[in-house]
Amino acid sequence: MFLKEYLASATLEKSGQILYLLFLLLIPFSIAGSYLFLVPAFLIFLFCRGWRSFDFFQPYFVCFLVFTLFSVASSFFAFKPALSFNDNRELLLFILLPLGSFFLRRQELRERSVKIILVSFALAAFAGIWQAVKWGVTIDNRIKGFTSHWLTYSGLLMLVFVYFGIVLLEKRRTANSLLLTTALIFCASAIFISLTRSVWVAIFCSLMFYLLICRKKFFLIFLLLTGVLLLIAPKNIQKRVISIVNPADPSNSDRLRIYYSGFKIIRDFPLLGVGSDNIPEIIKAKSALYKHPAADHVEMHLHNTYLQLFAERGIFAFCSWMLAMFFLLKKSWLLQKENIYFRALFFTLTAFLIQAFFEYNFGDSEMKFLLFYLIALTFSSQQGVYNEYQQKKIISDC
């Protein structure tokens, strides 16, 4: 009887693992498709009581829970509560952290998930390159692969490129070296022609910090190669790079105007904000108060994750989110010398947080899908090969 229950439970868990891997496969292709496999994987996670393999009292996760609590609280006092409650469904995505920890606790599953991520993003990057060949590299027709927006597309490629690029540099020769190298070449090429300045800046800074801290002898070579790359780059890419520091650039001016609105909202609603997804609504309704005099339109968000979270959810939610990121960085830094995956996570989080100064990257579901996967993958790698006794104990209780 026990054997039959064990086999049935093991089969159920294996089904959940397959669904989770399919969820990962579809991240750069279809958000709806990803949810299609995520929901049944989550139900299996619940049925198998997979939460028992996760430490909910880790400081970063406690901070995310507090962030969730204050985000929901802000919805009750939002400018338009219905909009805020609807948008806060995204808070459920934090379950990806314990769910990923459960399905990735064994070495073979982690390796399989990495291969799937590399293959799917290599294909997504190739799709973007094909779009550039077909449409040309222009600011008016930017590549976005299969995603709905070029910022999401290039942001996803950034996370994959930085994380697995550092893994490749640290491990050098692995069983997946060819796949890693191929995927990274495709991702780097797509990022280069994406014309997404925030991603360029984030990757440059995170890799510069990585080399200064971990590979000092390659730092000058990196700067030299970057300079050469800029010199041989097409004119439109060179112009795009120069525009990063040009205050007269129209998109830079637009950002300064929307930051003006964000600071005004924070001044008036410091405790609980105006509610998630309510910023454009309150700017439209009270344009005399919050719209910049020179602005000719209202943006959907503030193009800055820090301002966005503060203005939407208030100081308590904002500080909770910042503390969660601090604890993730701290844990990654403390373990980065003994575990290369924590080193990769540290500099990937650095890139993500740098990009957050220029985009609301935490607002994209796909970005959270991938970021939470990388966090779960890294923390699971700390466990090493999963203990067979513990494995049987969890499965037998499913």
Structure-block tokens of residue 87: 């948008």
More confident residue, 299 or 96: 96
**Collapsed DSSP state (helix, strand, coil) of residue 141:** strand
What distance in Å separates the CA atoms of residue 311 and residue 265, rounded to the nearest whole number?
6
Res 281 pLDDT > 80: yes
Q: What is the DSSP letter of 308?
A: H
For residue 8, what pLDDT band results from cuts at 50, 70 and 90?
A: very low
What distance in Å separates the CA atoms of residue 374 and residue 367, rounded to the nearest whole number?
11
pLDDT tens, 235-268?
989 999 999 988 888 888 888 999 999 999 999 9
Q: Average the pLDDT over 297-324 and give the result.
A: 94
**Short-list 304, 313, 322, 307, CA closest to 359:** 304
What distance in Å separates the CA atoms of residue 253 and residue 260, rounded to the nearest whole number?
11
Structure-block tokens of residue 287: 């344009």
**Collapsed DSSP state (helix, strand, coil) of residue 233:** coil
Please, are residues 290 and 283 in contact by the beta-carbon 8 Å criterion?
yes
Number of domains the chain is built from: 1
What pLDDT does residue 97 have? 97
pLDDT tens, 105-144?
999 999 999 999 999 999 999 999 999 999 888 888 899 9
**Short-list 352, 356, 364, CA closest to 147:** 364
Domain that includes residue 306, residue range:
2-396
What distance in Å separates the CA atoms of residue 322 and residue 309, rounded to the nearest whole number?
10
CA distances from 166 to 159, 203, 251, 293 (A): 11, 12, 32, 45
Written as one letter, the residue type at 170 is E
What distance in Å separates the CA atoms of residue 87 and residue 75, rounded to the nearest whole number?
9
Residues whose CB is less than 8 angstroms from the CB of residue 292 and which lie 6 or more positions away in sequence, other chains included = 257, 258, 260, 261
**Short-list 248, 254, 244, 246, CA closest to 294:** 254
What distance in Å separates the CA atoms of residue 285 and residue 282, rounded to the nearest whole number?
5
Structure-block tokens of residue 173: 């020769």
Render the burial of 285-316: b for 16+ CB within 10 Å, e for the rest.
eeeeebbbeebeebbebbbbbbbbbbbbbbbb
Residues whose CB is less than 8 angstroms from the CB of residue 86 and which lie 6 or more positions away in sequence, other chains included = 277
pLDDT tens, 195-212?
999 999 999 999 999 999
